[in-house]
Structures are given as structure tokens and as C-alpha cells.
């Protein structure tokens, strides 16, 4: 009787060890799948960021910004769609005066 109990305990312990190994293997496979998914997601985001950075033509030459000496002179020549009080006119919108304008003259005006 004791031998049977020992055999059952041994079989149970072996089964539990196999189950634990199988569970560890499943968890490692899940971790690897998550790592691969994260890497894929990060690569896709990097490509997206690179595409956004390429939205501006690589051969575009910056337009040198020259602030008009008189706001009256600027508004007499054209109608303004936007008055740039905190930045500088660039095309049809305002940008920081520290940035480079690639658009040139538009309907935005400096005050």
C-alpha cells in the first residue's frame, strides 16, 4: 500500500513538473509574441515619423524672411487673411519667427 502511495506521489510530482514546464514555455512564447508585436508597432511608428518628416520636400530652399519696415506698406499691397501678432507670416499662416518659412508670401501679414 505504501509503495502504491509513493508511486502515485511520484507520478503526481512528475505531472506537476511537466505542467509547470509547459506553462513556463507558454508564458515565454507569449512574452516573445508581445516583444515581436511591440517591435513591429515601434518600427511602424518610426516609419510614420520618418514619413511625417519627409512631408517637406528635401530639395526645398528656405525663403529668407524679411520683416517689412512698415505694416501699412504690407497691408496696402494685398488683403490679409490673418494678422500675425505673435509670430511671422509664412504663406497663409503664422509661424514662430525662429522657424524657417518654406512657403513664401501668402495672405498672412505681419502687423
64 falls within a domain: no
Q: How many domains does the chain have?
A: 2
pLDDT in tens, 5-15: 888 999 999 99
17 falls within a domain: yes
pLDDT in tens, 14-57: 999 999 999 999 999 999 999 888 888 888 888 887 777 655 55
Q: Does residue 71 register a pLDDT over 50?
A: no
Residues 5 and 51 in one domain: yes
Q: Does residue 66 register a pLDDT over 60?
A: no
Note the pLDDT of residue 23. Answer: 93
77 falls within a domain: yes
Alpha carbon separation from 95 to 2, 45, 68, 78, 90 (Å, rounded) = 87, 26, 16, 19, 6
Note the pLDDT of residue 30. Answer: 92
Domain limits at 91?
71-109
Residues 6 and 42 in one domain: yes
Q: Does residue 64 register a pLDDT over 80?
A: no
Question: What are the cell numbers at 13?
Answer: 510530482
Alpha carbon separation from 82 to 32, 91, 97 (Å, rounded) = 53, 10, 15
Note the pLDDT of residue 72. Answer: 43
Amino acid at each position: 500500500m505504501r509503495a502504491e502511495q509513493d508511486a502515485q506521489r511520484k507520478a503526481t510530482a512528475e505531472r506537476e513538473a511537466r505542467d509547470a514546464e509547459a506553462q513556463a514555455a507558454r508564458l515565454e512564447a507569449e512574452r516573445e509574441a508581445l516583444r515581436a508585436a511591440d517591435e513591429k508597432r515601434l518600427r511602424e511608428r518610426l516609419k510614420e515619423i520618418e514619413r511625417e518628416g519627409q512631408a517637406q520636400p528635401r530639395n526645398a530652399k528656405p525663403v529668407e524672411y524679411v520683416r517689412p519696415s512698415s505694416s501699412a506698406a504690407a497691408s496696402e499691397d494685398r488683403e490679409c487673411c490673418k494678422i500675425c501678432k505673435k509670430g511671422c507670416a509664412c504663406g497663409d499662416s503664422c509661424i514662430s519667427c525662429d522657424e524657417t518659412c518654406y512657403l513664401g508670401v501668402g495672405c498672412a501679414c505681419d502687423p
